């Protein structure tokens, strides 16, 4: 079982975006030493909760600060951007960090609708239903830059090349999704699929089963590959883990209620009065994440992976303070025998 990390660069209440990015870099360096497989950076816009708006820039810094980790996007929201520009960004990242770069692609806006419109390049921006065509064009530009002559003689962009050219390796391409659409796109395009279970647990097993059933092999991905994005938090004790989880749980409740906030302290979250409707929502949110001691979390994660046929877990952990977030990943690494001692 491969164990990886998704970092959304969370901003705590009374904290700052600069602080969140600094903690992202520090956490990546620790996870590199701990033995995690890959480290993905998220894309969010116009948010007072997350600082990671430019994964393509953070990837370069994190890759330079680490030695072994694969580093990538979880993900680039391709509907906002030119496939040629994304291809060039990730070709450059791969050139600077050979064999270590992932390009995870999503179709969600990563923002509110008004911000999504502001991100578009103009009236000719790609409509949402053009997403599969965008992915295919992106892949053609990546293959062409690696000398695979992917653009046909009749292609309208024949003669346009994603730069830099020459290196034979490219970023590892992944399709991200929280439902059936992402699974189908990944299957039809012959891409690995990373299901965002932490966003939508409903129908998740059906989505991964549909992916495997419809999968069409490609040169880069000859067999179905599934990873699972899971919210998990490990504490020294069960009670401590649940106390720490209160911060993210209240944040999700407020987000789903249309009142997004920075991440509160556990004390504030636990003291917050809730309506009966919010109490029900909180119970649902809590069930969607895996919280407890290392042994408990490991067992539940393995069971979840087996139920989805996943060969990799991409774990997102959010706590109010950095020390407890780092400790959670340390305890998780120990539970999976990635390391035998605490990072110093």
Q: Is residue 267 part of a domain?
A: no
Rounded distance between C-alpha atoms, residue 111 and residue 42, angstroms: 12
Please determine, for residue 26, whether its predicted confidence score (pLDDT) is greater than 70. Answer: yes
179: containing domain? 2-233+291-335
Q: Is residue 188 part of a domain?
A: yes
Rounded distance between C-alpha atoms, residue 63 and residue 31, angstroms: 12
Q: Is residue 72 part of a domain?
A: yes
E strand spans, 192-322: 193-196, 226-234, 290-292, 312-316
Q: Is residue 279 part of a domain?
A: no
Q: Is residue 86 part of a domain?
A: yes
Residues with Cβ within 8 Å of 89's Cβ and at least 6 positions away in sequence, in order, are 56
Q: Is residue 94 part of a domain?
A: yes
The DSSP letter of residue 228 is E
Beta bridge partners of 232: 290
Per-residue model confidence as pLDDT tens digits over 101-143: 999 999 876 566 677 767 665 545 556 567 888 898 898 888 8
- Residue with the bigger pLDDT between 140 and 36: it is 36
266 is written with which tokens?
């556990």
Inter-residue contact 177 to 186 (CB < 8 Å): yes
Helix (H, G, I), strand (E, B) or coil at 101: strand
70 is written with which tokens?
């694969």
Per-residue model confidence as pLDDT tens digits over 239-283: 999 999 999 999 999 998 888 889 999 999 999 999 899 999 999
286 is written with which tokens?
């809590």
Q: Is residue 140 part of a domain?
A: yes
Q: What pLDDT shows up at residue 247?
A: 97
Average confidence (pLDDT) over 144-169: 78
260 is written with which tokens?
């997004």
Which of 198, 267, 194 has the alpha carbon at shortest distance from 232? 198
| Terminal alpha carbon distance of the chain | 25
Per-residue model confidence as pLDDT tens digits over 176-232: 999 999 999 999 999 999 999 999 999 999 999 999 999 999 999 999 999 999 999
Which of 221, 216, 224, 230 has the alpha carbon at shortest distance from 314? 230
- Number of domains observed in the structure of the chain: 1
Q: What pLDDT shows up at residue 342?
A: 47
Q: Is residue 263 part of a domain?
A: no
Question: Which position has the token pair 């969600």?
Answer: 108
For the chain, the maximum distance between any two Cα atoms, rounded to a whole number of angstroms, is 65
Cis link prior to 75 (omega < 30° from 0)? yes
Inter-residue contact 113 to 160 (CB < 8 Å): no
Rounded distance between C-alpha atoms, residue 189 and residue 139, angstroms: 10
Inter-residue contact 268 to 243 (CB < 8 Å): no
**CATH code where residue 15 lies:** 3.20.20.30
CB-neighbour burial class of residue 28 (10 A; exposed 0-12, middle 13-18, buried 19+): buried
Rama region for 147: left / alpha / beta (φ>0; ψ in -120 to 50; rest): left
For the four alpha carbons of 244, 245, 246 and 248, in that order, the dihedral sign comes to positive
Q: What pLDDT shows up at residue 343?
A: 47
Please determine, for residue 150, whether its predicted confidence score (pLDDT) is greater than 90. Answer: no
Beta bridge partners of 72: 40, 102
Beta bridge partners of 135: none
Inter-residue contact 183 to 126 (CB < 8 Å): no
CB-neighbour burial class of residue 285 (10 A; exposed 0-12, middle 13-18, buried 19+): buried
């Amino acid at each position: 079982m491969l164990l990886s990390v998704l970092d959304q660069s969370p901003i705590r209440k009374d904290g700052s975006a600069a602080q969140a990015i600094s903690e992202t870099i520090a956490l990546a360096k620790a996870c590199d030493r701990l033995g995690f497989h890959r480290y993905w950076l998220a894309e969010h816009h116009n948010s007072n909760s997350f600082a990671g708006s430019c994964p393509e820039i953070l990837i370069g810094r994190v890759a330079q600060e680490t030695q072994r980790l694969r580093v990538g996007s979880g993900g680039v929201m391709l509907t906002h951007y030119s496939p040629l520009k994304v291809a060039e960004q990730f070709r450059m990242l791969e050139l600077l960090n050979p064999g270590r770069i992932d390009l995870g692609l999503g179709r969600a806006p990563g923002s509110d609708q008004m911000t999504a419109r502001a991100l578009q390049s103009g009236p000719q921006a790609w409509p949402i239903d053009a997403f599969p065509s965008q992915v295919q064009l992106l892949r053609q530009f990546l293959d062409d830059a690696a000398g695979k002559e992917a653009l046909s003689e009749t292609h309208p962009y024949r003669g346009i090349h994603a730069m830099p050219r020459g290196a034979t390796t490219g970023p590892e391409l992944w399709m991200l999704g929280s439902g059936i659409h992402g699974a189908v796109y990944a299957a039809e395009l012959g891409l690995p699929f990373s299901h965002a279970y932490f966003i939508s647990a409903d129908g998740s097993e059906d989505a991964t089963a549909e992916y495997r059933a419809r999968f069409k092999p490609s040169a880069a991905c000859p067999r179905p590959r599934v990873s699972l994005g899971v919210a998990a938090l490990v504490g020294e004790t069960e009670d401590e883990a649940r106390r720490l989880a209160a911060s993210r749980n209240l944040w999700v409740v407020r987000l789903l209620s249309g009142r997004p906030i920075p991440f509160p302290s556990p004390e504030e979250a636990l003291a917050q009065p809730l309506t009966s409707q919010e109490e029900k929502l909180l119970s649902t949110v809590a069930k969607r994440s895996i919280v407890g001691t290392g042994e408990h979390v490991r067992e539940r994660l393995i069971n979840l992976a087996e139920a989805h046929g996943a060969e990799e877990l991409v774990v997102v952990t959010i706590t109010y303070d950095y020390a407890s977030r780092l400790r959670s990943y340390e305890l998780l690494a120990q539970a999976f025998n990635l390391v035998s001692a605490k990072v110093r």
